Structure 1
Amino acid sequence: MESTVSVSKGVFLFPNGYKKQSQSKKKSQPLFEKLLTKQQWYITYKRNWNIIESEIKELHNKTYSILLNDIVNYLKSFDTDDESVQVNGIVPSATLLTGVNQPDHLSQFTALIEKIRNDVTPHIAMVNSEDASTLKHLVENVVWQLIHGHEALDMSIDEDTNNITFESKRLRKNQCTMKVLQKWYTNKYNTPSPKKKKHSSVKRSLVIIIPDFESFNCSVLQDFVMIVSSYVSSLPILFIFGVATSVSALHKSFPYHVSSKLLIQVFHSHSSPVYMNQVLEDIFLTHQSPLHLSGKAFELLIDVFLFYDFSVTGLVQSIKYCMMEHYYGDNTKSLCCERDRIEEAVTNLNSEDLENIRQLLSFRPYVESQDSQTQIKLFEDDNFFREFVYREMNKLHDYLYSFYMCVRLLTGFVKDLPRNPLGKSMREIYTKCTIDLVTDTHEFKECMLLLGFQSQVKMVEGIKNALKVINSLQNVSPVKPLRSTPTKNNYNNIKPSDDLGENFVKTVRVHLMIFLRQIENANTEATVLTKYNTDDDDDVENIPGNRYKLKEKLLQSTKVEKIQSEFEMVRSRFVSYLTEVLARGLRPPRSQPLHELLVFADVAAVKKQIVGAPRGALHTALSNPQYYLQCSCCHLPTSDSMSATLPDVSLAYKLHRECGKHINLYDWLQAFAAVLRPDDEDERSDNPEVQTRFTRAVAELQFLGFIKSSKRKTDHVMRLTW
């Protein structure tokens, strides 16, 4: 009977290989973004943060490029056909010293995997300690990633022929063993495939990455290394260990019979403080940065970095939070943007935004310094005020351009001085410069005094480095009148501030070149003139016992008058000029009008979120739940009062604080039931619901670490907090 012949009527379906594409649902935009996307401050924040993220990614790739290239070249040096690797089952391994900054390790190994996948092999397995509690789990995870890690590459290869196929059926994890891996590798690279002739001839290595070596179980890792070493003759396996502490941790974890199976090569990554200084100096501590942190805010973020986790990722996220706090809900902060966009941002400000700018604390002393006619126009004429804001924002950018140039100059001259009065790095000097006028401090005067004793070679080297800093700066665009508002408002009546910016930097550069030429050609020899007393005191020596006058005569004969050399005079003039330049360029940001628009200084607003206090937050949540729940049922007249509407764990916590070191569970249950069922005195403690709620609350307090079971008394628990 034919396939289309049937007793009953029907529809016959002939599959032709067509597969219906699943309609992808449109992702709904979050409500938060719907409300904020069109607001000017959010657009400015999003654009600026995208620029910062791209710069951080570029700096990260540049910083770790040398390290990644060294590791890749080491992996490439082991040819899969080289018999020296297979002798005695020795496994080549690269040990990467990553440092203790755990949150930054993910980005390092992500870049390493991408580099290895592009240059060495697509077969990579990265296993964390939480996924390898036993040897069985470790082997399954490694084998599964090595077998299926190449599928994305195979799919991209076969896309041109419109024939996307896999070599074999996808394996389950419980089927993944070393024998299965060996069989798969033999079929893939030793058996020629007509579809993949180009790739079957070149064998690829198998790379196993263990990023958190110290967190692994030593016995599990030892057994795994021994198993892998037995398969090295047929499988070209390479190890990459991520060690946070030192190489000694590797040798302590592996005994000799295990470490002898590893060919270890050590690679050192950049230390976290060094990388942090690069991120700050190249991205955030520049005049091109959209947001600038005050000294107190910057000091807080650096302290969190140095005293907590050494995480550059955490530091960047803290700066991002400060940036969100700076921009949120205030359209005037749209002026915190690139210099080319200031005109557009000023034009988009409405009357309410202009009034908010007038209420800034730095605007009042500026207005008081102007004449009465200008003051009236600044408050009543919006067009005139827009012109004022536009010019002041450009002057503020000129100030920041000169300020960061002077900070870098000061850093270059004082970072190598004895005892480092101002610090060694730019971030330390930046903090001091933004808090107060640094040229009036005792540390600055000590640095200038030490510069006055520097040698000619050291002075020439410092000036050359300063010229390199100035030459690396980009040109600043001149201030132009605001085209979108009238310019006939007699803006020239406003008293201009000191000229900073490009002209200031050019002048400093010219003077430094003159001083460099003078110091290089200066003579270092000094003339010494000796003055003797010409009085005739011949009788002094003849008078016996007159030793006092003889001592005075000898002291006068030793007095010399030293005339400074040419180099010393030029050096003295240079130190005086440097002090004058820095006093002009390093005025703190708070001295500038409208600095609040570009400088974030609200430390109290972000300190609670950046510096966590889990113990205090937990105590507040349990003793006063309304603080977080914001519900009327948890309202308490006093902090010590109790209510049946409180959460059970909160009620149990407040009752346990009234007890001593040992708490009787029966008495605790009676007090707990008395609060929940004040009317039912007879059967309230025998109620199963009350007992269940009490048991759960006690278990939660034990999990939080407030109590523990006592071995002295079975019906008591021990209190662990004061």
Structure 2
Amino acid sequence: MESTVSVSKGVFLFPNGFKRTKKYKKKLKCNLNECLSKDPWYETFKRNWELIESQLKELHEQTYSVLLNDIVNYVKLINQEYEYDTLEGIISSATLLTGVNQPDHVNQFLALINKISEEVTPHVAMINSQDAQTVKHLVENTVWQLIHGQDVLDNSADEGFDNDIPQFKIKKNQCTVKTLLNWYEAKYKKHSPKKQKCANLKKALVIIIPDFESFNCNVLQDFVMIISSYVQFLPIVLIFGVATSVSALHKSFPYHVSSKLLIKVFHSHPSHVYMNQVLEKIFLTHTNPFHLSGKAFELMTDVFLFYDFSVTGIIQSIKYCMIDHYFGDNIKSLCCPRDKIEEAVNNLTIYDLENIRQLLSFRPFLEVQDCETKIGLFKDDDFFREVLTKELYKLHDYIHSFYLCIRLLSVFVKDLPKNTLGKTVRELYIKCSMESVTNNAQSYRDAIQLLKFQSQMQLIESIKNALKEINSFLQADTLVKPLRSTPSKNNLHNISLKNDLGLDFAKTIRIHLLTFLRQLENASNETSVLTNTVMDTENDVENVNLLGNRYKLKEKLLKATRVEKIQSEYEMIRLRFVSYLEEVFTKGLQPPHTQTFHEIMFFSDVSSVKKQIVGSPRGAIHTALSNPIHYLQCSCCRLDSTESISDSLPDVCIAYKLHRECGKHINLYDWLQAFAAVVSPDEDDECRYQDITIQVRFTRAVSELQFLGFIKTSKRKTDHVMRLTW
């Protein structure tokens, strides 16, 4: 038989002696990291993101450590005190209320699996809803994972086990609960009474169902009943991940099934609480060199609150903004920690310095200087580097004071009635970074006015909380490098710089708060002394003849109401304290866009990332079907207008354009005729209507439109379809 002859049709490859060279293979090995590893912006981005990832990992462990430890201790207790003869088919189970933030569940359950595998048992199976469409698939996947997936026991190292334990090599379709029982009995053999210690080495079988609401109720009911018949011989523990509430579990299981479960409930943190922790402890801090503008930050939080409640999603969105901020721009290498500023400035090229001079925030700074200094900033690169270094240090000091004032403002206003400025730090950050709240916001003035009526105990408690925030800032900045003292060169001494922010600003606030706290704790809150004018008016009122001098009596009473009482000691200190707070907030809460070179540290290009972060699938599908060249970028799909039709377009695009010309009900035969006329315009009508190829192409295009949700079959007319979009 010849090499190109076979029983079935096929494709035959003839290499013709062609061999790929080794040089061609080496070129394919170049990846993104190797290509960009030498760029300053990429090195800075990679270093900063690795720092953020380490902080996120540490925060995740702190947040879920208590919850995971409770679940693991519960499984340990079951594993140690399991009595197989007295359970009577009752399955020990744990219900973890995870909340609706589904994308965040993966890491949470993976951490739970790792912790259980390390501390309790290696026999852990996690079954998702897509892998358990029927009871057969659910049992097969569960048994397969328990036998093969998580088996990490080293039988030769454990005492009391025989080295000749048979190894189970079975196919997946042979996995049943009976097979699991045989495997478990073979793995943990019964020993003689002299070796009772070996009985305690038996490990529990943990089955995790992370998305309980997505499962078919009947499948889970049958699975629970099957397990309950074997629970006397197998120490099985079920862990359910419930996104809504415990009532969902009771509604899904009837009484004869729920009675087989011994349920213990564990509560996870709500998604918005975890989101606030991530933002306030990692991204809304002065230690992170990358910052979002008010509009960009508002976009991230709106996507979280109105779309998916996913903390993972908001972290990835911020990462995308961070990549867009750094990508291809070496001047963004200055967006680095404080101790890396001098090195980054020295590595800038002349082209990079020219790009920095073109920043919009550089012009207001330039207008303040004298003529000689302006010339030096444009002509002398060394002089400009020194000025740039000092301004970046000043910007870091501003960021330090800005976040400190935001947290202080949050401490004082979060308990006020009506919450005019918001309860959380992220809400205050959005308002303070978008406008000058101390000058323009009515809500800020209302909050300050309410502070003037606070009680003594509440104000003292607020000051104590504010001192805790300042102490945490100062502890984090013990190793912060002070402002570099550079030798004066050219006209550097003529530049107006304000170095009253940063650590010194925080220390000054701390001293003043301690002073006010001591005064408020010792202040008296009693008022019993009136002015002499009040006492005189009271004597005059008594001497007035009520019958003949009513007019004089009225005048005396009006004067008495206009006289002010002497304020108590606490009220006088409170007024001084509130006025001091206004001065602090006016100085420290200036919006970022007022600072020089703020474009280096703050990302504000919201329009460029909004389409990628907030997807619009319907708009993208409409664009792809009406104008496919937008995505395909091919010359054959080029059209004079989006409404025109060409035979070179994909079939689904032709069918979509034709269906838009129809009404609510579309006749399939007329649709086919129009489709054939576009696809084969040169052929005769009878030939193209009878062409099987055209019919197959049309049928496939109609099926794709039905899958996309543009049409559906009509029950009123068998040869018509109904249009679903207008």
TM-score, normalisation: structure 2? 0.90
Whether the 8 Å contact between 2:326 and 2:333 is mirrored in structure 1 is: yes
Cα drift, residue 479 of structure 1: 1.6
| Distance change >3 Å, CA 676–CA 527, structure 1 → 2 | same
Partner of 1:104: 104
| Distance change >3 Å, CA 249–CA 234, structure 1 → 2 | same
Cα drift, residue 467 of structure 1: 1.0
Alignment of 1:308-387 (within 5 A): 308-387=307-386
Whether the 8 Å contact between 2:94 and 2:240 is mirrored in structure 1 is: yes
Alignment of 1:83-482 (within 5 A): 83=83, 86-154=86-154, 167-191=166-190, 202-440=201-439, 441-473=441-473, 474-475=476-477, 476-481=480-485
- Separation in structure 2 between the aligned mates of residue 494 and residue 293 of structure 1, nearest angstrom: 29
Cα drift, residue 157 of structure 1: 5.6
- CA deviation profile, 1:436-481 (whole Å, cap 9, x unmatched): 1111211111111111111111111111111111111123321225
Partner SS, residue 562 of structure 1: coil
- CA deviation profile, 1:191-219 (whole Å, cap 9, x unmatched): 469xx999775111111111111111111
Cα drift, residue 685 of structure 1: 2.0
Which deviates more, 315-324 or 493-502? 493-502
- Separation in structure 2 between the aligned mates of residue 559 and residue 294 of structure 1, nearest angstrom: 49
- Separation in structure 1 between the aligned mates of residue 544 and residue 186 of structure 2, nearest angstrom: 116
Partner of 1:34: 34
Partner of 2:671: 668
- CA deviation profile, 1:155-192 (whole Å, cap 9, x unmatched): 9969xxxxx99840432111111111111111211246
Partner SS, residue 722 of structure 2: strand
Partner of 1:653: 656
| Distance change >3 Å, CA 690–CA 235, structure 1 → 2 | same
User: What letter is aligned with 1:667?
Assistant: D
| Distance change >3 Å, CA 554–CA 467, structure 1 → 2 | closer
> Among residues 683, 687, 690, which one is paired with 1:686 in the alignment?
690
Partner of 1:698: 702
Partner of 1:632: 635
- Separation in structure 2 between the aligned mates of residue 67 and residue 675 of structure 1, nearest angstrom: 63
Partner SS, residue 715 of structure 2: coil
User: RMSD in angstroms over aligned alpha carbons?
Assistant: 2.5
Partner SS, residue 638 of structure 2: coil
Whether the 8 Å contact between 1:151 and 1:166 is mirrored in structure 2 is: no
| Distance change >3 Å, CA 575–CA 416, structure 1 → 2 | same
- Separation in structure 1 between the aligned mates of residue 697 and residue 173 of structure 2, nearest angstrom: 41
Cα drift, residue 265 of structure 1: 0.5
- CA deviation profile, 1:374-401 (whole Å, cap 9, x unmatched): 1011111111111111111111111111
Whether the 8 Å contact between 2:125 and 2:150 is mirrored in structure 1 is: no
- Separation in structure 2 between the aligned mates of residue 589 and residue 522 of structure 1, nearest angstrom: 39
| Distance change >3 Å, CA 681–CA 157, structure 1 → 2 | farther
Aligned length: 687
Partner of 2:606: 603
Whether the 8 Å contact between 1:94 and 1:264 is mirrored in structure 2 is: yes
Cα drift, residue 497 of structure 1: 2.4
Partner of 2:525: 524
- Separation in structure 2 between the aligned mates of residue 487 and residue 200 of structure 1, nearest angstrom: 80
| Distance change >3 Å, CA 536–CA 310, structure 1 → 2 | closer
- Unmatched tracts of structure 1, length 5 or more: 1-24, 159-163
Partner SS, residue 70 of structure 2: helix
Q: 2:592 aligned with 1:616, yes or no? A: no
TM-score, normalisation: structure 1? 0.91
Cα drift, residue 717 of structure 1: 1.1
| Distance change >3 Å, CA 648–CA 452, structure 1 → 2 | same
Which deviates more, 275-284 or 631-640? 631-640
- Unmatched tracts of structure 2, length 5 or more: 1-24
Percent of matched pairs sharing the same residue = 65
Partner SS, residue 170 of structure 2: coil
- Separation in structure 1 between the aligned mates of residue 30 and residue 536 of structure 2, nearest angstrom: 92
- Separation in structure 2 between the aligned mates of residue 610 and residue 585 of structure 1, nearest angstrom: 32
- Separation in structure 2 between the aligned mates of residue 322 and residue 360 of structure 1, nearest angstrom: 19
Whether the 8 Å contact between 1:531 and 1:557 is mirrored in structure 2 is: no
Partner SS, residue 314 of structure 2: helix
Partner SS, residue 417 of structure 2: coil
- Separation in structure 2 between the aligned mates of residue 688 and residue 172 of structure 1, nearest angstrom: 44
Cα drift, residue 527 of structure 1: 2.9
- Separation in structure 1 between the aligned mates of residue 322 and residue 191 of structure 2, nearest angstrom: 57
- CA deviation profile, 1:342-385 (whole Å, cap 9, x unmatched): 11111111011111100000001100110011101111111111
Whether the 8 Å contact between 1:80 and 1:205 is mirrored in structure 2 is: no
| Distance change >3 Å, CA 557–CA 675, structure 1 → 2 | closer
- Separation in structure 2 between the aligned mates of residue 211 and residue 644 of structure 1, nearest angstrom: 49
Whether the 8 Å contact between 1:531 and 1:561 is mirrored in structure 2 is: no
Partner of 1:60: 60
Whether the 8 Å contact between 1:411 and 1:424 is mirrored in structure 2 is: yes
| Distance change >3 Å, CA 668–CA 229, structure 1 → 2 | same
Partner SS, residue 125 of structure 1: strand
Partner SS, residue 651 of structure 1: helix
- CA deviation profile, 1:514-558 (whole Å, cap 9, x unmatched): 111111111111134234546589785344xx8666555555566
Whether the 8 Å contact between 2:331 and 2:348 is mirrored in structure 1 is: yes
Cα drift, residue 290 of structure 1: 2.0
| Distance change >3 Å, CA 297–CA 395, structure 1 → 2 | same
Partner SS, residue 95 of structure 2: strand
| Distance change >3 Å, CA 436–CA 539, structure 1 → 2 | closer
Cα drift, residue 257 of structure 1: 1.0
Whether the 8 Å contact between 1:144 and 1:173 is mirrored in structure 2 is: yes
Cα drift, residue 225 of structure 1: 0.9
- Separation in structure 2 between the aligned mates of residue 323 and residue 166 of structure 1, nearest angstrom: 54
Whether the 8 Å contact between 1:98 and 1:242 is mirrored in structure 2 is: yes
- Separation in structure 1 between the aligned mates of residue 70 and residue 543 of structure 2, nearest angstrom: 83
Q: 2:542 aligned with 1:541, yes or no? A: no
- Separation in structure 2 between the aligned mates of residue 626 and residue 77 of structure 1, nearest angstrom: 63
Partner SS, residue 61 of structure 1: helix
- Separation in structure 2 between the aligned mates of residue 433 and residue 86 of structure 1, nearest angstrom: 64
Whether the 8 Å contact between 2:165 and 2:187 is mirrored in structure 1 is: no
Cα drift, residue 35 of structure 1: 2.5
| Distance change >3 Å, CA 388–CA 550, structure 1 → 2 | closer
Which deviates more, 81-90 or 650-659? 81-90
Cα drift, residue 666 of structure 1: 1.5
- Separation in structure 1 between the aligned mates of residue 153 and residue 361 of structure 2, nearest angstrom: 59
| Distance change >3 Å, CA 548–CA 172, structure 1 → 2 | farther
Partner of 2:505: 504
Whether the 8 Å contact between 1:155 and 1:165 is mirrored in structure 2 is: no
- Separation in structure 1 between the aligned mates of residue 87 and residue 643 of structure 2, nearest angstrom: 74
Whether the 8 Å contact between 1:189 and 1:201 is mirrored in structure 2 is: no
Which deviates more, 315-324 or 136-145? 136-145
Partner SS, residue 634 of structure 2: coil
Q: 2:725 aligned with 1:721, yes or no? A: yes
Whether the 8 Å contact between 1:653 and 1:701 is mirrored in structure 2 is: yes
